[in-house]
Amino acid sequence: MSTPIIQLAATARVYRADGVEVHAVRRVSLEIQQGEFVAIMGSSGSGKSTLMNILGCLDRPTGGEYLLDGVSVSTLSRSQLATLRNRKLGFVFQNFNLLARTTALENVELPMFYRKPLVALSSQRRRAVEALQRVGLGDRLGHRPSQLSGGQQQRIAIARALVNEPELVLADEPTGNLDTRTSIDIMGLFQELNDSGITIVMVTHELDIASYCKRIIVMRDGLVISDAPNPERRQAGPERAKLDEAEQIAKLD
Amino acid sequence: MIALFQALLLRPLLTAMIALRALRRNKLRSILTALGIIIGVASVVAMVAVGNGARNKIQGEVSALGQNLLLVFAGNKRSAGVNSGLGSAASITLEDAAAVKNEVRDIVAMSPEVWTNAQAIASGRNWSTTISGVAPDYLGVRDWPVSAGAMFTDREVRSAAKVAVIGSKTANELFGAINPIGQTVRLNNIPFVITGQLSSKGAGLGNNNQDDRIVLPYTTVMKRLTGEKSVKLLNIKINDASRMETAQQQITALLRQRHRTPAGEGNDFNILNQKEIADKVANISGIITMMLGAIAGMSLLVGGIGIMNIMLVSVTERTREIGIRMAVGAQGSDILLQFLIEAITLSLLGGGLGVLAGFGIARGIGNVAGFQPVVTAGSVILAFSVSFAIGVFFGFYPARKAAKLDPIDALRYE
């Protein structure tokens, strides 16, 4: 078996606020392999967001070890972390985090702008267009986020996460701001991407959403309390059909 | 090689495009922010242009006085603390003039000068003008040829003849299109025959128009018009620039001796050479330039602080944007560069508009003051480099603040 994309060994993160130590993540050890689709669940304060920040190289662990694609993250400088985020990671946020007043295409081109050495401008455009086509927004290149629906905005964010061909896509409550139908669509998109080989780690507090993933990790008080494959995995296609049916019935009543 | 090209040229260029877009989004704010720089640069450019123009004009005037010129003014008359100006005291006699001419070897030409004002009447028009009494050598000393007719002669000086040479402006006022040569002009009811017309010399030092005058033999003015026994000014031409100082010392010594001025007491006359006149004028304009420069410098400082202020606001407003950029892989240096280039763009924008405004102001002042302001490439380059430096200096702190943001906090910022 090849190197796991993520290796956590007794990883911990302690905050010091007003002299009080807060153990946001205590001792987490786990591995995530290429091609997995993992949900990290837990209530607020369980440490899942902190863990996500560490996985995303936005934050460094204060204890233990974190290897991303075999590279130890703890000792890297701020710029080295930035480079790692740029080359190996794609982010999808709850509130989309798109640049306002900037077109979909330009938003998707953004990660390539910070890639060193720079990608040729013409192939930047081509890759951004391809990424947008992949998420089904090939006809919305020139639209700005404010002209698009929440689901469409999240698709732009996903295209942006994919454009640098990352090892791993990290999604933080990606459906938190979306309605049920759009959520199913987005999860469907993630499933498609995962089927094509992209590794995805997602933080959510909704079991509904987690149930689309292949593996579910549950956290509480900074510890992993359960880590198991998801036996009853939902598929977006049938779920959408079920939803349509239910709406149909509701209308008939 | 390619990496270097990207780091030094392509990336800053692309970043500059982002900066321009950000500035275009807040057009009014950008213009208002740049206003401080605009005013500062405009005043620098206008000031330098006006200063240069004024200096050119003064230099022209000073050299128009004539080459290797010494002017000996009769002393100031001081009565009860009121200084009546150069030539107001009767301290130089015709005998003094003759002695100076005979005893100072380096003098090639000399003309005494007296002046008064009179109402000139000719062909039914009248015009108040300056009457100068001089010797024929005057035109040589002052490098001032006649444009028509001829200067009066030494014989006419000796006989205090009623002849006149007329300045171009006076001729125009009195005779219009008629040729003044051979015409008669009446001064204090005495008729004078005009023998020549002076070439035009333009405005003189100060505001008096040198072309508005009638030139008579000095003897004629002293006997027939003023009755004075002394002259107000000796115009002296020295043979060589290197002899100016010696001649000046000799004249001073001679006049002190003739006037029996006790050692230790000041001169009862003033001796000026061309260089001193030029230096005095340059000195005054230098002081004015420095004062204006200080004002311009301060407005540039204020403009720079304005840019810093708005950049700090901009960094705060765009914290989330910074967070997003960092999340997708922007390094601190990328963010620093972005905001620095934005500040520099603002200040260069101010510099550019300032140069244009400076051009306009200089031209306006030139129109009012009656000379040609000179905008030099040097002052434009200076203005741009100063604005660039201001952008770097005042943009650096906000840009560094942006670069040091923590990506997690920045992403969460509302």
The string of pLDDT tens digits covering residues A101-130 is: 899 999 999 999 998 888 888 889 999 999
CATH number of A239's domain: 3.40.50.300
Mean pLDDT of B235-240: 89
Is there a contact between A82 and B329 if contact means CB atoms under 8 Å apart?
Answer: yes
Going by pLDDT thresholds of 50, 70 and 90, the confidence category of residue B86 is low
Q: What is the pLDDT of residues A147-185, one digit of tens each?
A: 999 999 999 999 999 999 998 999 999 999 999 999 999
Contact (Cβ atoms closer than 8 angstroms) between residue B157 and residue B219: yes
Mean pLDDT of A87-100: 93
Q: How far is Cα B331 from Cα B25, in angstroms, rounded to an integer?
A: 24
Task: Give the closest-approach CA distance of A51 to chain B in angstroms.
Answer: 12
Closest by CA to B348, choosing from B84, B41, B58, B139, is: B41
Whether A19 is covered by a domain: the verdict is: no
And the tokens for B237? 């031409």
More confident residue, B251 or B123: B251
Whether A146 is covered by a domain: the verdict is: yes
Strand pairing class (B125-134; B269-273): unpaired
Whether A157 is covered by a domain: the verdict is: yes
Question: Looking at A110-119, B46-55, B206-215, B263-272, which range is the least confident one?
Answer: B206-215
**Residues within 8 A of B (CB atoms), A 54-73 only:** 56, 58-59
User: What is residue B83's three-state secondary structure?
Assistant: strand
User: Which residues, in sequence order, are CB contacts of B189 under 8 Å at separation 6+?
Assistant: none
Is there a contact between A58 and B324 if contact means CB atoms under 8 Å apart?
Answer: no
Whether A67 is covered by a domain: the verdict is: no
Task: Give the closest-approach CA distance of A103 to chain B in angstroms.
Answer: 13
Contact (Cβ atoms closer than 8 angstroms) between residue A2 and residue A176: no
**What stretch of H or E contains B388?**
helix B377-403
Whether A86 is covered by a domain: the verdict is: yes
Residue among B14, B327, B408 minimizing CB distance to A113: B14
Rg of chain B (C-alpha set): 33
Residue among B6, B330, B408 minimizing CB distance to A117: B6
Q: In this structure, what are the phi and psi dihedrals at residue A182, rounded to the nearest 5 degrees?
A: -65, -40
Closest by CA to B43, choosing from B327, B265, B377, B294, is: B294
Tell me what ipTM this predicted complex has: 0.93
b/e per residue, B139-154, with b = 16+ CB within 10 A? bbbbebebebbebbee
Q: What is the DSSP annotation of B296-340?
A: HHHHHHHHHHHHHHHHHHHHHHTHHHHHHHHHTT--HHHHHHHHH
Q: Does any CB of chain A come closer than 8 Å to the CB of residue B80?
A: no
Whether A247 is covered by a domain: the verdict is: yes
Mean pLDDT of B146-165: 91
Residue B250 CB coordination number (10 Å): 17
Question: Measured at the alpha carbon of residue B133, what is the angle toward residues B225 and B198, in degrees to the nearest 5?
Answer: 125
Question: Looking at B8-12, B34-38, B138-142, which range is the least confident one?
Answer: B8-12
Is there a contact between B332 and A79 if contact means CB atoms under 8 Å apart?
Answer: yes
And the tokens for B146? 């006649």
Residue A195 CB coordination number (10 Å): 10
What pLDDT is attached to residue A37? 96
For residue A19, CA distances in Å to A11, A14, A16, A26, A222 come to 22, 12, 6, 18, 19
Contact (Cβ atoms closer than 8 angstroms) between residue A111 and residue A159: no
* Residue in B23, B317, B331 to test binding to A, most A beta-carbons within 10 Å: B331
0.80 exceeded by the pTM? no
Indicate whether B80 pLDDT > 50: no
Whether A30 is covered by a domain: the verdict is: no
Is there a contact between B408 and A58 if contact means CB atoms under 8 Å apart?
Answer: yes
- Which residues in chain A have their CB less than 8 angstroms from residue B19's CB? none
Instruction: Count structural domains, chain A.
Output: 1
* Domain that includes residue A83, residue range: 35-59+75-252
- Which residues in chain A have their CB less than 8 angstroms from residue B407's CB? 58
Going by pLDDT thresholds of 50, 70 and 90, the confidence category of residue A65 is very high
Q: How far is Cα B61 from Cα B204, in angstroms, rounded to an integer?
A: 6
Residue among B14, B320, B330 minimizing CB distance to A82: B330
Task: Give the closest-approach CA distance of A85 to chain B in angstroms.
Answer: 5
**Residues within 8 A of B (CB atoms), A 113-172 only:** 113-118, 160, 164
Q: Does any CB of chain A come closer than 8 Å to the CB of residue B367?
A: no
- Which residues in chain B have their CB less than 8 angstroms from residue A24's CB? none
Closest by CA to A158, choosing from A122, A185, A120, A118, is: A185
Task: Give the closest-approach CA distance of A79 to chain B in angstroms.
Answer: 5
Is there a contact between B327 and A97 if contact means CB atoms under 8 Å apart?
Answer: yes
Whether A202 is covered by a domain: the verdict is: yes
Q: How far is Cα A222 from Cα A23, in angstroms, rounded to an integer?
A: 7
